[in-house]
Structure formats: structure tokens, C-alpha cells
Structure 1
Amino acid sequence: MASSGVASVGVIAALLFLVVKLLQTGKRAAGLPPGPPTVPVLGNLHLMTARDGHLQFQKWAKEYGPIYSLKLGTKTFVVLSSDTAVKDLLDKRSNIYSSRPDMFIGSTLASGGLRVLLMQYGPTWRMIHRMIHNILNIKAAVTYVPYQDLENKFMLLGMLNQPEEFANHMRRYTNSLTTQMIFGFRTLNINDPKLQQLFHGFEKWAEVTGSSSAQILDLFPILQRLPKFLLPNYRYAEKLHQEEKALYVGHWLNAKKAIKDGTGKPCFCVDLVKSQEVEGFSDDLAGYISGSLLEAGSDTTAATLIGFIQAMVVFPEVQKKAQEEIDRVVGTERLPTMEDAPQMQYIRGCVKESMRWMPTNILGVPHSVIKDDEYMGYRIPAGASIIANVWAIHMDPNRHTNPRAFDPDRYANDFLSEFECATNPDVSKRDHFIFGAGRRVCQGMHIAERSLFLAIVRMLWAFDFEKARDARGSPITPDIDKLTQGLFVLPEPFPAVIKPRSEGHARLIRTTWQTCEETLLDPETKQWKNVPEGMVFGTYTPSKEEG
């Protein structure tokens, strides 16, 4: 009897311990930054919205200040809602703020642990970072202008012939530039199945990664042990990964074979082959390294351009002022070029404002701090997820007057490049935060800056953008606050009327592309006859030394 009584007491004690632990789950620990009140188990999870989470994060920033915390289940999130906080932690303390949190759906299931964007900080990520730096640094980026120039001219022709497909023409433009750099081939058609698969697959991945079901599995890791059929989106995420891996590894293996056969053109995969021989990593990882670059170079730039078209439709006065500057500098007898940029400060402002006004990574990609830290008197515990509240910073009226207006004049006196802005010691001079921060800052910003300038200046030179009309003839004004959902966003589909500014503009677009076809491209394959000189591919020397 005594032994059974002791056992009963033990069971009761264990149950009480579990109840106490459960009730403590979700509770904001002492010393953390302030935040909304919590409830047991859930913490603040019940306050998270199913859509437009960036608006809730902005609301909390106004209430709790530049740094606040959220308790979501078992996890702690620290949200940085000022440029100064981002600079102080993600930039100045990047040695401990450069990792990523565990993301079971987005990284493990839907990416096989191979996606560079979500890879935790360590030797593999550093090796990849060094390799990518070789092809995306400032000096290398200049050499890709011939690719950008060619694909931009083809985009103009596409918009002239099929203006209703403007979003797909922008996607082909950014994708083809990137496939040339990474794999050595052009993407020729907006209906290319692999092009469509890339964008639709990335949108689905971003959506499932940012879904509430993905968050639940990250916030309560014990649920990850449940049978597959009980886990929401488990099979769907696995299916996305298999489809994506087939695309990325397929591209990689084709390029690898051509390089080894001596038939491949200079491209990033030349460096990747050399590095694989030294480091010994798998074809799956090689596929995702090259594929991650492909999605990074294709998706966000295209999304920004789609947002820019929406802005031109909604803010016609900006379009008029921009075209006046272009006509004054360029005229009508030639296309604008990169050499015109110093004389077009308003267009440079359009580029910067496009990234501020429509930030594609609206809440950034979460960082993770690897050891305990302190900031502004608050404790930031090791393992906490760190959110750069990009939307709140961009829409802060103290930083940008009337922030929902598209106003390129904000940058009338900003003559800095994107790199100079991102690395400026004075963070108030940073134009926007879509390229991230610290060691995770986007290495492709030099290329994106040129791609955006060429696209924006030439579209404005060539076309007028107007509101579409409904069946009654009333103009349709796109809702600038209706965005897609997920880790990365863009405007929801909207109609626009796109017309050439004159027959002379249209004729020059056609004759310019005809000249490109005759002088630069193989008549049968429509690929480059000869790769432009000066590419850095093949100059990378792989090393096992950790960076």
C-alpha cells in the first residue's frame, strides 16, 4: 500500500510539474522588450492575423516602440521597428545576429535543408557566401550590363506586342538575365514552362512558409513528431520540394555536363563545378545553390517592377515628371542607357522609391541570435528570432513624410548607390531595407540596382501607363494595399493600359531589337553567338578555409 501511495504522489507531482510548465509556456520572461499581453500556452499567438500581418506588426511598433517582443508558443521573437535598432544589432553585431531560426516547413520539408536563404550560419553557408561574392561584387556586376541591356530591349518588345502580359514580360526579363549568369542560357519566352514553374513554385513556397500552419509547427516543435497525416501541409511541402529540386538540380546537371564536355558557356556553374571538386558537396546542394541564386535574381526584382507599374497607374503626376526628365536628357532618337543615370536624379529616385514603397520582403527574413545579448536595457535571449520590421520602417512618417504616396523627390539629394546606402554609418541615410542587413545583406544589390534603373527608365521612355476601365467605362484604380501573402509579397494582380508614347518610339523598339538579333544572337537558337568579354566566371579559387 505504501509503495502504491508513493507512486500516486509521484504521478501527481509529475502532472503538477507539467501543468506548471505548460502554463509558463507563452509567458513573457522578465527583462524582455515590452509587447502585447500574453495568455498561457499561446503567448501572443492568438493575436496574429491570418492576412496582412505586416499591418499588425506596424500597429504594435506604434504602441510598444522601436524594439518589442512577442511570445509565440514556445518561441521568443524580438521585432526591430526602427532603422537605428536594425543598424545596432543586425549590422554592428552581425557576428551573433547572422543565423536563421529553425523553419520546419519552409526549410526542412519544402527545401530539404538546402535553401541558402534559410540556411543557418556556419561553414557551409560561409563557403557558399564566398563563392557567390566572386560573381556579385561591385566590379563583377558591371560586366553583366550587356546581358541586362539585351534582355531589357526584348522586354520592351514584349510589352509593345502583348501589353496585357506586362507582369510576365518583367519576369522573363529578370529570369533570363539570371539564367545567363548562373547557367549560361537565355530564357526566350514568357510561356517557358521552367520560367512559369520557377515563379509559381517560389510563390507557393513563400506562401506555405509564411502560413499559420508552418508557424504552429515551429512554435510548438513537439508537434513535428506527430504522424505525417496529422501535420498540416506536410505532404504539400514535400511535394513542393520534390518539384523544385527537380527544376534546380536539372538545371545544374545540364550545366555541369556542358562545362565538363567543353560546350558550356561561361557562367557561375563553372565556379560551382570547381568548388564541388574541392568541397565534395552533393549535386542536390549544388542545385539549390544555383537555384537559390536563380530565384533571388528573378523574383524580387520582377515584383518590384510590377509594383512600379502600379504606382505609375495610381500616381500619373510622377509618370509625367519622370518622362519630362527623360525627354530632356535622352530625346526620342535613342534608348536611355546606364550612362544617362547621373543626369537623371528623378529616375534614380523612382528606383529607390519603388523599393521603399513596395518592399517585397515586407517583414524581412528572420535572423536568429546565437548567444544572449542586451540592448536598450532589455535582454535578448540566445535562440530568439529577430524580425526587421521593414514595412513599419518604410512607412514611418517621421522617416518618410506621407509614406503611402509614391514620391521620388524624397531622394532628390541622395546620390548614393544602393551599396553605399546599405553600408552607410549614418543609418538615416539608408534609402530602404529590402536588401536585408548585416552578413545576410543581399549580395546581388549592385545587379538589381542596374536592372531596375534600365527597366524603369526605358519603360517610361517608351510607354504611357493608364488605368484600365470597367464595362461602364469607369477607371479602375488598383488598391495599393492589396498584396499577396507569404514570406515575400507583391501587388495582387491588377489591370493596366500600356501604350507606346508614339509610333516613333514603337518603331525604335522594333528596329533596336532587330539589330540585336542580327548582331548578337544565333539565328537558330537565339542564344548569344559570343559571350560578352570581361566575365569573372572561372576566376574563383575554392578553399576549405573558413571565412
Structure 2
Amino acid sequence: MAHDLIVTLVFSLSVLFCLFKMGRVGSRASNLPPGPPTLPLLGNLHLVRLTSPYLDLGFANLNRCPFFDHMFNCKNGPKNTGNCRTATVRSITLTSRSDRPIYSLVLGTKVMIVLSSDDAISDVLVKKSGNYSDRPDMFIGQKIASGNLRLVVMRYGDNWRMIHRMIHNIMNIKAAVTYVPYQDLENKFLLEGLLDTPADFLPHIRRFTYSLSTQMIFGYRCVNNRDPNLLQLFESFENWGKLAGSSSAQIADLFPVLQKLPDFMTPNVSYAKKLFEIERKNYVGHWMRSKKALDSGKGLPCFCNDIYRVQSQEGFSDDAAGYISGSLLEAGSDTTASTLYGFIQAALVWPEVQRRAQEEIDRVVGPSRLPTIDDYDSLPYIRCCIKESLRWMPTVILGVPHAAIKEDTYNGYVIPQGATVVNNVWAIHMDPERSENPRVFKPERFKGDDTSLYQSAVGNTKNRDNFVFGTGRRLCQGIHIAERSLFLGISRLMWAFNFERPVDAKGAPVQYDIEDLVGGITVQPSDYPAIIKPRSAEKAQIIRDSVEECKQFLDPDTLQWKKVPEGMAFSTWMPDTAQD
């Protein structure tokens, strides 16, 4: 009898303890940064929309009254009073408060810390970058859909540091200068494509950025904007972004017990496995093509030289090598293309931007030659257009999340070990204190800012032009190459073409919805129409002549380089001197 009583008591206490623990799931600890009220088990999951979550995390919903009334003394609703300031985009109220650089969301079993000011980014992710170089677990996005191999969301550790050192040596500022011949050639083919089939301007832009990347990484060009590998890359990366950011993927991370369910009960797991096989075939196929060419002595120098050298020393698999090179291909192709696509939309919505850009180019460059990289210092308005494009349409709209390696404190609040830390790019870019009328495309807001994108990214965060390229040790190392591609892209588009709105059935110019963004972890404007015409017959001929000049360096049958231009900085991996 006594034994039965003890068993019953132990069982009852265990049940009560489990119920107590479950009752605390979703609740906010008192030492966390403030945030909206929570519900049991869910926490704040009910407040984050399944689509366009950046509008919530970017002060569009969670940060506006009345959710925060009792925490931030904003009793009068979203008005221009006190420290509660708003800017309106469509029917969405974007609110920014100087006293709220940090807030927390409790999402099931996990804590998300959202940093929404440049000061908070500086104090946490920059000054303490060693503690925030990790990424959160992504069961669906990384483990299942990427085989734990995707670089951008790879956990911090020896493997990531080894890859980071290697990439540093092939993408640093000195190496980036040597890639200009590739950028120059691909840009000229972009311009020719716009002359021939202007309605395909997004595919032409994507071929430009993709081919530039395949040359640097794998040693060969993409000569057709309908190339199956090109189409597969953008489709797979878009699908991966949507999957990784989907509600089911988030829930699997927030409630890890769901990861143990069989596949038939979790359809996204089955889909993730299929997506991984498609991507793996594409990326490893690129890698093996380059590897075999290098083995045979027929391959041109490229980043894969360095990857191959490290593979022979470190012994990682061809799958891993494929995803290292594939991750570089993603980064080099997607963001630059989306930024150029966003700039063209802005030039259509605000035609005075186009007019001012063309006036500067006509004055400095003239009508008889294309702008070159040597014109960089002489075209300050174009450089302002680059900065404003990245600010106004940030492609990595919520940044790529960091994770706290150890418990930390900021402003008296605790950031728990393992907490997801979000670099809230959208909120910072759209803060009217940093950028007046933030949804207006206004390049002149950067007038007098002569810093390069890299100089701005590593300088005082208060003056940083954009946060798209990440921060701390996770700063994108392709920033130097991206700036040169954007400069050649914007300057030559403005030199060569006029961009006009088409008219609808009633003869009125079509209206563009600048808030209609598509994508997942990265975004861009939804497809939109444009009329693209050469500014003169003479300029059209200059473009065609420049392409013909380029072809002397290419095989006439394959349009591949006969040999790499002199001075290209490949095969430079030096593990003893490279930085983490």
C-alpha cells in the first residue's frame, strides 16, 4: 500500500511538473526585452503574419499601438506626438520609436531578439561579433533542404571559419579590382540584350549577374538567359527562401518535438528533401564540371581552383565543395539582380531620378563612349543611386538571423544563450529619423557621402548607408564586387536607355505598387512592365560595336573566354595569413 501511494504521488508530481513547464512555454521571462503580450504555448506566434513578415517585424504591426501601449507609454495611438512617430505606406502604419532599439518575441519555445536601430546593431552585432557569429538551427532550411551545407545559414565553427578564410582571399578588395574585365564584358552583353528584346529585361539582368558569377567561380560564361542552369538557380533559391521562411519551417524549429514526426505527417520535409536533391544536382554538377576541367588542364582559373586545393588538404566531400561554390553563386547572382530590378522600378516611379542621373552622365561621360569603372569618382549621383537602391529596396529585408553563442546583456535586458537575433534591416532603413520620407526614392539624401559600400559597412553604424550586406564576422565578403557591378549596371543603363511607363487600355500610365514584393528570405519587386528604348541610334551602335570588340576574346562557337584576362587574382588561398 505504501509503495502504491509513493508511485501515485511521484506520478502526480511528475504530471504537475510537466503541466507547469508546458504552461510556461510561450511566456516572456521578466528579464527579456519588452514585447507584445503572449499566449500560452504560442507566445507571439499569433501576431506574425505568414506572408510579408517583414511588415510585422519592421514596425508595421507588432511595434505599433495598442500592442505596446502599456510598455512604451504611447497612449494616443500612432500619431506624431512625443516619441511615437509614424510614416504611412498604403494602409500600413510603420512606426519608429527612438526608445525602442530592441524588443523580444517569444515564439513557442524560442526567443527572438529584434534589433531595430543602428546603435543596437553596433553595440550587439558589431562590438560583440564573436558572440553573435552563429546562426540559429534551421531544421527544414539547413538540415533537410541544404544537407547542412548552405554557407549563408551554416552554424559557426571550424568548418565555417575555414571556408570564410578561403573566400576572404578570393573576394577581398584587391582581388575584386581584377574582376572588372568580367563585369565589363557581361554588362555589355546585358545592354545588347536590352536592345534586342527589351521586354525580357529581368532575364537579361539575371543572366548578367549569373554569368559574372559563373565566370569567377567556375571559369565559364552563361551565354543565354534561358539557360536551364540559370533558370534552375533562381527557381531553386526562391523556393528555398520561401520554404526556409515558411510557417511550417518556423514551427519545426520552435517546437523541436515536431522534427521527429514521420515524413507523411510533415509534407514540407518531403518537399525539402526533393528540393535538396535538385539543388545538389545543380551545384555539384557545376563543381564537377570545373573540377574535371582543372584535372584535364583545360579549365580556366577560377574560385574552384582554391576550393579544389583546400579540398585536397581538408578532405571535404564533393557535395560540400558543390555547396560552397553554389552558395557563392547564389550570393553573386540574386541580390545584385534584385537591386538593379528595384532601381529600374524606382526610375519609373520617380522619373526625376532618371533625368538627374542622365544629366550627370551626359556631362561627365558624353555621348560617344560607355561609362567605365574609371568614372566612379566623377559620378557622385550614380553612387548615390546605388546607396539609395540598397536602402529603399533592401533585398535581404530582415537580414540573415544571428544566434547568441553565450548569454549576454544589453541595456539591462538579457539576451539568452541560443536566442535568435534579427538584424531588422527593413525597420532601420524605413526609420524616418534616419531617412525622411523613407518610402520615397531620393538619392540626394546621400549627397556628400563619398564612402564605398565596404567603408560604410565597417565604419560608424550611425552613418552606415545600408545593412543589406550583414554585419560583424558575417559581413558579406562579395560587397566590393557587388558595388562595381551595380555601378556599371546603373551608370550604363542610364547612359544607354530611357525607361518609360506603358499605358493601360484607357491610355493612362500604369501604376506601380512599390510595396508588392516577392520572395522569402530575399525579396525583390513583383514583376512589372516597362518600355525600354535606346536614347539614340548612335548609342545603340556604340553598344553593338563594344560587344563585337568583346567577341575577339571569345571562342566564336561557344562564346567562352579563349583565356582569362591578364591580372585575374585566382588561386590565392593562404591559410596562415588570412583572417577569420
SS of equivalent to 1:76: strand
Take 2:567 and 2:306, find their aligned partners in 1: how far apart are those partners? Answer: 15
Aligned 8 A contact 2:454 2:480 in 1? yes
SS of equivalent to 1:65: coil
Where do 1:35-74 residues align within 5 Å? 35-59=35-59, 60-61=62-63, 62=96, 65-74=100-109
Aligned 8 A contact 1:311 1:406 in 2? yes
**Corresponding residue of 1:9:** 9
Task: State whether structure 2 residue 502 is matched by structure 1 residue 468.
Answer: yes
Take 1:38 and 1:497, find their aligned partners in 2: how far apart are those partners? Answer: 49
Q: CA deviation at 1:7?
A: 2.7
**Corresponding residue of 1:513:** 547
User: What is the letter of the counterpart of residue 243 of structure 1?
Assistant: I
Q: CA deviation at 1:144?
A: 0.3
Where do 1:389-400 residues align within 5 Å? 389-400=424-435
Take 2:329 and 2:578, find their aligned partners in 1: how far apart are those partners? Answer: 26
Take 1:163 and 1:536, find their aligned partners in 2: how far apart are those partners? Answer: 34
Aligned 8 A contact 2:168 2:578 in 1? no
Q: Deviations over 1:71-103 (max 9, x none)?
A: 000001100000111111111101111000000
SS of equivalent to 1:379: strand
Task: State whether structure 2 residue 571 is matched by structure 1 residue 535.
Answer: no
Take 2:309 and 2:250, find their aligned partners in 1: how far apart are those partners? Answer: 38
User: What is the letter of the counterpart of residue 16 of structure 2?
Assistant: L
Q: CA deviation at 1:228?
A: 1.1
Take 1:67 and 1:541, find their aligned partners in 2: how far apart are those partners? Answer: 40
**Corresponding residue of 1:421:** 456
Aligned 8 A contact 1:217 1:223 in 2? yes
Aligned 8 A contact 1:171 1:302 in 2? yes
Task: State whether structure 2 residue 135 is matched by structure 1 residue 124.
Answer: no
Take 1:485 and 1:284, find their aligned partners in 2: how far apart are those partners? Answer: 26
Structure 1: stretches of 5+ with no match in the other structure: none
Q: CA deviation at 1:472?
A: 2.4
**Corresponding residue of 2:483:** 449
**Corresponding residue of 1:134:** 169
Where do 1:204-219 residues align within 5 Å? 204-219=239-254
Take 1:476 and 1:233, find their aligned partners in 2: how far apart are those partners? Answer: 38
**Corresponding residue of 2:66:** none
**Corresponding residue of 2:68:** none
SS of equivalent to 2:145: helix
Q: Deviations over 1:472-530 (max 9, x none)?
A: 2221121000111411111111111111111111111111111211x211111111122
Q: CA deviation at 1:3?
A: 3.3
Where do 1:239-388 residues align within 5 Å? 239-388=274-423
Aligned 8 A contact 1:66 1:81 in 2? yes
User: What is the letter of the counterpart of residue 523 of structure 1?
Assistant: P
Where do 1:138-157 residues align within 5 Å? 138-157=173-192
Aligned 8 A contact 1:175 1:297 in 2? yes
Structure 2 length normalisation: TM-score?
0.92
Aligned 8 A contact 1:86 1:388 in 2? yes
Q: Deviations over 1:367-406 (max 9, x none)?
A: 0010011111111111000001100000011001111111
Q: CA deviation at 1:65?
A: 1.0
User: What is the letter of the counterpart of residue 487 of structure 1?
Assistant: I
**Corresponding residue of 1:440:** 474
SS of equivalent to 1:274: helix
User: What is the letter of the counterpart of residue 105 of structure 1?
Assistant: I
Quote the sequence identity (%): 58
Q: CA deviation at 1:546?
A: 9.6
Take 1:280 and 1:112, find their aligned partners in 2: how far apart are those partners? Answer: 17
User: What is the letter of the counterpart of residue 536 of structure 1?
Assistant: A
Aligned 8 A contact 2:187 2:489 in 1? yes
Query: Bigger CA drift: 26-35 or 434-443?
Result: 26-35
- Residue 545 to residue 155, structure 1, CA distance change in 2 (3 Å): closer
SS of equivalent to 1:233: helix
Take 2:538 and 2:280, find their aligned partners in 1: how far apart are those partners? Answer: 46
Query: Bigger CA drift: 415-424 or 527-536?
Result: 527-536
Task: State whether structure 2 residue 107 is matched by structure 1 residue 107.
Answer: no
**Corresponding residue of 1:497:** 531
Q: Deviations over 1:116-150 (max 9, x none)?
A: 11111110000000100111000000000000000
Take 1:291 and 1:35, find their aligned partners in 2: how far apart are those partners? Answer: 38
Aligned 8 A contact 1:51 1:485 in 2? no
User: What is the letter of the counterpart of residue 524 of structure 2?
Assistant: L
Take 1:342 and 1:485, find their aligned partners in 2: how far apart are those partners? Answer: 34
Query: Bigger CA drift: 385-394 or 529-538?
Result: 529-538
Q: Deviations over 1:266-322 (max 9, x none)?
A: 001111111011101111100000000001000010011111111011110110111
**Corresponding residue of 2:438:** 403
User: What is the letter of the counterpart of residue 513 of structure 1?
Assistant: V
Q: CA deviation at 1:58?
A: 2.2
Aligned 8 A contact 2:168 2:579 in 1? no
Q: Deviations over 1:337-389 (max 9, x none)?
A: 11111111101000110100000110000000100111111111110000011
**Corresponding residue of 2:76:** none
Query: Bigger CA drift: 464-473 or 77-86?
Result: 464-473
- Residue 32 to residue 246, structure 1, CA distance change in 2 (3 Å): same
Take 1:539 and 1:134, find their aligned partners in 2: how far apart are those partners? Answer: 6
Number of equivalent positions? 545
Q: CA deviation at 1:471?
A: 2.3
User: What is the letter of the counterpart of residue 540 of structure 1?
Assistant: W
Take 1:147 and 1:544, find their aligned partners in 2: how far apart are those partners? Answer: 27
Take 1:531 and 1:431, find their aligned partners in 2: how far apart are those partners? Answer: 34
Q: CA deviation at 1:545?
A: 10
Q: CA deviation at 1:543?
A: 6.5
Q: CA deviation at 1:70?
A: 0.5
**Corresponding residue of 2:75:** none
Q: Deviations over 1:444-470 (max 9, x none)?
A: 000000000000000011111111222
Aligned 8 A contact 2:165 2:579 in 1? no
Take 1:2 and 1:231, find their aligned partners in 2: how far apart are those partners? Answer: 46
Aligned 8 A contact 2:165 2:578 in 1? no
Take 1:512 and 1:535, find their aligned partners in 2: how far apart are those partners? Answer: 21
Q: 1:159 aligns with which of 176, 189, 194?
A: 194
User: What is the letter of the counterpart of residue 358 of structure 1?
Assistant: M
Aligned 8 A contact 1:274 1:542 in 2? no
Aligned 8 A contact 1:159 1:169 in 2? yes
Q: CA deviation at 1:419?
A: 1.0
Q: CA deviation at 1:14?
A: 1.7
**Corresponding residue of 2:33:** 33
Aligned 8 A contact 1:520 1:530 in 2? yes
Aligned 8 A contact 1:134 1:540 in 2? yes
**Corresponding residue of 1:193:** 228
SS of equivalent to 2:344: helix
Q: Deviations over 1:187-227 (max 9, x none)?
A: 00000000000001000000110111110000001110111
Aligned 8 A contact 1:278 1:542 in 2? no
Aligned 8 A contact 1:45 1:71 in 2? yes
Q: CA deviation at 1:176?
A: 0.5
Q: CA deviation at 1:231?
A: 1.4
Take 2:47 and 2:567, find their aligned partners in 1: how far apart are those partners? Answer: 54
Q: Deviations over 1:229-265 (max 9, x none)?
A: 1114111111110000000011111111111111110
Structure 1 length normalisation: TM-score?
0.98
SS of equivalent to 1:96: helix
**Corresponding residue of 2:218:** 183
Aligned 8 A contact 1:213 1:232 in 2? no
Take 1:539 and 1:396, find their aligned partners in 2: how far apart are those partners? Answer: 41
SS of equivalent to 2:298: coil
